Every structure is written in structure tokens, then in C-alpha cells.
Structure 1
Amino acid sequence: MDLALLRTFVTVHRAGSFTRAAALLGLSQPAVTSQIRTLERQLGRPLFLRQARGVTPTTIGDELAHKAAPHLDALVEIAETGVDEDSTVRTLHLAGPPEFTAERALPALTTLTGDDGRRFALRTSFGTAEEALEGLAAGHHDLAISTAQPRGGLLTATPLCDEEHVLVAGPGLAARVGPGKLRRRGAPALEGLPVVEVHESLPLVARYWAAVFDSRPAASAAVVVPDLRAVLACAAAGAGLAVLPRYLCAEALARGEVAALLEPPVPPLRTYFLVVRTGTLAMPHIARAHEWLLRAAADWS
């Protein structure tokens, strides 16, 4: 079986469409289509079901991808790093949310040295959970940190850690609310107050309201900024209340720059997952980084 055909097949399987696969491979879409048809003729079975938007693998297609992908990834690793045993650097391509990756993952990984003395070069991409998982599946990344747990067998997820969410505001706004009023009245005590969030849909605020108040937030965002560190800065400046991971705002809480509006008996939690393409933990540099992050996460609180 032609390895070039297998590589094209695995890329289509990961990308979910001939068009995206063609862009990743630097080929035309007709060339990708022709290669897939050739492989299907050789196997005597269809590998994909064509749909209006992209393709869906058949059962045979899924089985072939799960068998072939790890071996193709290993060959790519050999091609990229060479077979020189004296090579001391491996490149790890990491994707994840900007705040968590910058504050926790990167400080842990930049200290990583293997037992054999080999160090790692890091290439990092920031994005949403969906973007990180799509990039991982398409082969752009080796490792992804995600708050979404992927489905199916193409990606393998391991729980990394939980983060506690805290409802905070600057001192002035916190004084207006008062903990007693909030405990007595619940969510209605916060109606009309400005909110700072990472998206118009208020993902963190909505999650907190559902878990703590069993309701939906009535407010709209006064400030939307796609970085939780900027959300913290805006909240501290008095722009509005915000829901933040405790690890990110712990120092600001200790310095009095923001105040926790409520300390519920069971705080809302969000789980982070460490995700790889199934089979790629056979690659030493990915396995070592994966293990190192899990070890570091045991000390995160």
C-alpha cells in the first residue's frame, strides 16, 4: 500500500473534509479526491461518506485511521528529527487556552529535561478548546490542553486538573453588593451590575450562575475581552464583576485588588484535559511532556 495514499487518507480523516486536507497537504482538492478513490479501489471498501459539509469516515475508515495514524506520525517524527542519536532537541507543539498555558503549563514544561539529558523546543499556539482539538486532530499540534473532552477514538484525553471559579469584583463594587445581601437574596442581588467576560455569551458567568444560584444571569457584558488576565485587570479597575479561576486571581485577592463576593460551600469547578492523538504517546518527547504536566498538576491548587 502506498504510504502517500495513507498519509492523504489520515489527513482527510483528521480534517473532516477534502478541502481542509488539501490545504494541509499543499495539494489540490481533485488530487486528494483522486488519491482517496485510488485507496478505496485498492481496499475494495468505501472509507468516507460524502456529505454536504465535509466527510464522515465509515467503520472501515475509522479502523484504518486508528491503525495507521500512530505509525505515520512516528515516521513523520523520524523525518523531522532525523536518525542521528546525538540529536538533543525535540520540538513539542502545544496548544491550549492562553491564560492556563502561560501561567501553568509553560512554566512546568520549560524546566523539562529528560533522563537522557535531552531538552525540548516548544512551539505554542493559543486558542479555544475547539480550535485546539481541531488543530490536534489535523496534526498541527502534538499535545493540547482543553476544557472540552473529545469524543471518538481519534483523540485520547486524560484529566489534568480542576480549577475553582470565584465570583469577584473591585473593592468599590464589592462594597455595594455586600456578602450578607448576596447570601440573602442570591442572584437578584446582582441584577443590573456590569459584567466583564471573555465572550458575549457569558460562558463563565453562566456556568457559575447555574451551579451556585440555579439560574441564568440576567445581565449582559459591559466589557468583553478574550483573555482572563485582562478580565481580572478590568474587574480590579471597577469595570464590573467577573468569574475567574482562583489560581489566576489568588494574588489579587490577597492584595485586596479584588474581593470574592461569595464563598459557596461547593464552588464551581472546571476540568482541564490533556489530549493527544491516539497512539502518539509512543513518541518519547510527547510521552515525557504528558507525564511531566500530569506530575506538575498534582501540586496545582
Structure 2
Amino acid sequence: MDLDLLRTFLAVYRAGSLTGAAPSLGLSQPTVTAQVRSLEDQLGRQLFVRRARGVTPTPAADELAARIAPHVDALATVAIGEADPFATPVHLAGPAELTTARVLPALAGLVASGLKLRVTFGLAEDLLAGLAQRRFDLVVSTIRPRGRGFAATPLTDEEFVLVGPRGFDGDPRTAPLVAYAEELPIIRRYWRSVLGVRPPAGPAVVVPDLRGVLTCVRAGMGVSVLPRYLCAAELAAGDLVPLLDPPEPPINTLFAVTRAEPCRAGPAAVRDALLADAAQW
């Protein structure tokens, strides 16, 4: 079987799209598509389900990736040698808000030194599954992964704060809630740990991005619970106001997660840069 077909398959598997894999391979999107189809024909099995945005791997693709990834990666490492640790793109994944606000700025120096970065946003459980499947090299996770297949290094603790818009003088326990999910995940935890009760059922506004939640609160749509790093500038400017000042606000530990195996030079450099910068977060 052609090694180039396996390399292309693995790139598509990790990128989650045919178009996204093309730049890292130095190929056009039609060529990537043709190579994936050729591999599917040789195997007699469908590897990807085409979606409106990207592709979804089939169980056959998951099995193939698990079998070939260590060997293809090892061959690539031998081919590029140690002279250029950034010759292969680093596939980084994490929550959209934290990655945008903190993670990416911390990697500017590495990019200037030649790092090629491919970034994916998503929920922690999904991203950790992708890390295990070798779709990603490093995941910034809001939860500590389970199992022996991961190596998790604590980055920092994010503090949560209950905020309202400028001039808010009501009772936050009865105010409309703005959340990023119907289940009120962050709000529910804050209500229970600080107020000792469950939050009211049913948020007024649901926006699946904490940056959108911040915008809604700032516009006066209600109150919410946000990581302090995300709203520090708005709090300093008075556009948002903290509604409570608990002696021990809820916190959550963030982790830099790789697979429990020797780390390539590129992902290791990204992890080390994040650890160094996280002290300022």
C-alpha cells in the first residue's frame, strides 16, 4: 500500500476535513480527495462520511488510524530529522474562548520561529477522544483526563465570577440568566457552591460561546458566571460589575494534555511555552 495514501488519510483524519488537510500535505483539495478514495477502494471500506463541513471518520477509519499512526509518525520523524522540529504542523485543540484569549497569544514566539500550527475548537471530552485517536498532538483541557493513555500537566486555575451589566442593582438569584448551554453548567456549579441552592430552571438566553455570553450580559440581557480572565477588561472598565465577592470563589484547573508516550519536538515546545506563559494568566 502506498505510504503517501496513508499519510494523506492520517492528515485528513486529524484535520477533520479534506480541505483542512491539504495545506499540511502540500497538496490540492482534489488530490487529497482522490487519494482518500483510492485508499478506500484498496481497502474496500468507507473511511469518512462527508458532511457539509468536513468529514466524520467511520469505525474503520478509527481502527486504521490507531494501527498506522505511530509508524507513519515515526517515519516522518526519521525523514525530517532533528534539524527542524517545526517541519511537521502541530495540531492543537482546546475550548474556543480560552484558546483565543490566552493560548494562541502565548505561541506567537514559536510561530515566528517557524512553528506551523493547526487549531481545533471543541468540548473537552470530544477533544480528548481526538487526542487518543491521534487527531491532535496537544489538547488544552478544562477537565483532567482519565486513563493511562494521557499525560496531563496543570497549567493554571481559572476563577469564576458572577457578573451583571453596568448599574445592575437587582437580586442575581432572580435575574434572567445568560448561559452557554441549557443545562447551565458553570452557573449551576456557582449557585451550589456559593449560594447553596440550585439556579432557576431555564435560562433567558443561550449562546454556545462564552464570548457571546459576555456580550449579552454587557448589553443588559441578564447575569451570568464567567471565567475572570475572559471578563477582566470589562470589569476594570466598569462595563460589567461583580455581583458577589465570596471568600473562596469556584475555580477550575486547566491542563495541557498529550499522549503518554515520547512527545515530538514541536508539541513539546508548544507545551513548554504554554506552561511558561500560564503563570501570567
Task: Provide the TM-score with structure 1 as the length reference.
Answer: 0.69
TM alignment of 1:4-153, pairs within 5 A = 27=40, 71-72=70-71, 74-75=73-74, 77-78=76-77, 82-83=80-81, 85=83, 89-112=87-110, 118-153=113-148
Give the letter for the 1:147 counterpart: T
Structure 1: gaps spanning 5 or more residues: 12-22, 33-53, 55-64, 178-188
Instruction: Give every structure 1 segment of 4 or more consecutive aligned residues whose post-TM-superposition deviation is greater than 2 Å.
Output: 68-74, 76-79, 81-90
Give 2:249's aligned residue.
267
Structure 2: gaps spanning 5 or more residues: 11-35, 46-58, 60-65
Confirm or deny that 1:190 pairs with 2:139: no
Aligned mates of 1:87, 1:285 — CA distance in 2: 5
Following TM superposition, by how much is the alpha carbon of 1:274 offset from its aligned partner in structure 2, in angstroms? 0.7
Following TM superposition, by how much is the alpha carbon of 1:213 offset from its aligned partner in structure 2, in angstroms? 1.5
Q: CA RMSD in A?
A: 3.5
In 2, are the aligned partners of 1:92 and 1:285 still within 8 Å (CA)? yes
The count of aligned residue pairs is: 238
Change (3 A) 1:244 1:76: farther
Aligned mates of 2:72, 2:218 — CA distance in 1: 46
Confirm or deny that 1:291 pairs with 2:259: no
Change (3 A) 1:237 1:118: closer
Aligned mates of 1:217, 1:298 — CA distance in 2: 33
Give the letter for the 1:130 counterpart: E
Following TM superposition, by how much is the alpha carbon of 1:135 offset from its aligned partner in structure 2, in angstroms? 1.3
Secondary structure, aligned partner of 1:194 = coil
TM alignment of 1:243-258, pairs within 5 A = 243-258=225-240
Q: Which of 184, 188, 203 is matched with 1:202 structurally?
A: 184
Following TM superposition, by how much is the alpha carbon of 1:149 offset from its aligned partner in structure 2, in angstroms? 1.3
Aligned mates of 2:197, 2:206 — CA distance in 1: 21
Give 1:170's aligned residue.
165
TM alignment of 1:222-233, pairs within 5 A = 222-233=204-215
User: What is the percent sequence identity of the aligned residues?
Assistant: 42
Give the letter for the 1:248 counterpart: L
Task: Provide the TM-score with structure 2 as the length reference.
Answer: 0.73
Aligned mates of 1:132, 1:298 — CA distance in 2: 24
Q: Which has more radius of gyration?
A: 1
Aligned mates of 1:156, 1:70 — CA distance in 2: 18
In 2, are the aligned partners of 1:90 and 1:119 still within 8 Å (CA)? no
Secondary structure, aligned partner of 2:89 = strand
Give the letter for the 1:129 counterpart: A
In 2, are the aligned partners of 1:195 and 1:219 still within 8 Å (CA)? no
Cα deviation digits, residues 57-107 of structure 1 (max 9, x gap): xxxxxxxx8xx999536415427x734946864411100000100000000
Cα deviation digits, residues 128-185 of structure 1 (max 9, x gap): 111211111111111001112111111221111100000001124x2123xxxxxxxx
